[in-house]
Amino acid sequence: MIDFFIISPEDILYQLKLSCQLPDIIAAIASRKIITDAADKANIKIQTGELQQTADKMRLAKKLVKAKDTEEWLEKHYLSLNEFKELVQVSLLSAKLAHHLFSEQVESFFSAHQLDYAKSITYEVVLDDEELAWKLFDAVQNNEISFQDIAQQYIQEPELRRVNGYCGIRYRSDFMLEIATCVFTAHPPQMLKPILTHKGVHLIWVEEILQPNLDEELRCKILRDLFAIWLQQQLEEIKIVVQI
């Protein structure tokens, strides 16, 4: 039995090809170059304090509380401290560039797409049997059973069953199109008629629709959305030459 393997850069590249991940890697490389070039042209600078603050937030998000946690995480991902610094720098450049390009467009974009930023609180049970789904729906309408009872009886995953199929607070874009239309035209609290998708038959309880408020959290999300659209446009417009 072999005690260890020596994996070369060529091995890694070949495996990326075999796993069909190379297009995503190439797009990520091009995105990083687009961001750094655009930030340079816009004369966007990063201060030492900003870099440290962003690094601290990133470590907190990854639950790297202790120095040892960070060291182990870097080792796991084969990153040096300098490479981690570059990772943080690109993240910060992206945020600053997004603000530079789109900060003045946030309010008008929000006004034009306000419905897209409404959120809903929903519970869901997915069944395989459409006939059963309709029987359960009718039973709820006739007050013969509650949605919570359905969740307890028909959800297989213990953790999801424990919270009665709670899906969290989600934006319209977090749902499949056919489900989003039904959810955001509901009159909560309301159980929707069974919805058939490729995943099965969905029974959904809409507890509440939360109308959007342009607070700081939503401003940041809109900036990220606008920046993602812009970055995708840049990727589509440039010619990428890959030398392998």
Q: Report pLDDT digits (tens) over 138-152.
A: 999 999 999 999 999
Strand blocks (E) in the chain: 119-127, 166-171, 190-191, 195-197, 200-210
Q: What is the mean pLDDT of residues 73-94?
A: 94
115 band by pLDDT with thresholds 50, 70 and 90: confident
Q: What is the pLDDT of residue 78?
A: 94
What residues have CB less than 8 Å from 130, skipping those under 6 apart?
194, 196, 201
Identity of the residue numbered 234: Q
DSSP state string for 131-188: HHHHHHHHHHHTTSS-HHHHHHHH--SHHHHHTTTEEEEEEGGGS-HHHHHHHTT--S
pLDDT of residue 226 exceeding 70, the answer is yes
The whole-chain average pLDDT of the chain stands at 93
243 band by pLDDT with thresholds 50, 70 and 90: confident
The answer to whether residues 9 and 25 touch, using CB atoms and an 8 Å cutoff, is: no
pTM: 0.77
Q: What is the pLDDT of residue 48?
A: 81
Q: Please, what is the Cα angle at 224 between 39 and 92, to 5 degrees?
A: 40
What residues have CB less than 8 Å from 30, skipping those under 6 apart?
235, 238, 240
1 band by pLDDT with thresholds 50, 70 and 90: low
Structure tokens at 220: 């940041």
Question: 192 in helix, strand or coil?
Answer: coil
pLDDT of residue 158 exceeding 90, the answer is yes
Q: Indicate the DSSP class of residue 194.
A: P
**Domains of the chain (ranges plus CATH)?**
9-109+218-237 (no CATH), 119-210 (3.10.50.40)
The answer to whether residues 204 and 179 touch, using CB atoms and an 8 Å cutoff, is: yes
Q: What is the pLDDT of residue 2?
A: 64
Identity of the residue numbered 4: F
Q: What is the pLDDT of residue 221?
A: 92
pLDDT of residue 3 exceeding 80, the answer is no
pLDDT digits (tens, 9 = 90+) for 85-100: 999 999 999 999 999 9
The answer to whether residues 169 and 120 touch, using CB atoms and an 8 Å cutoff, is: yes
Q: What is the mean pLDDT of residues 178-203?
A: 95
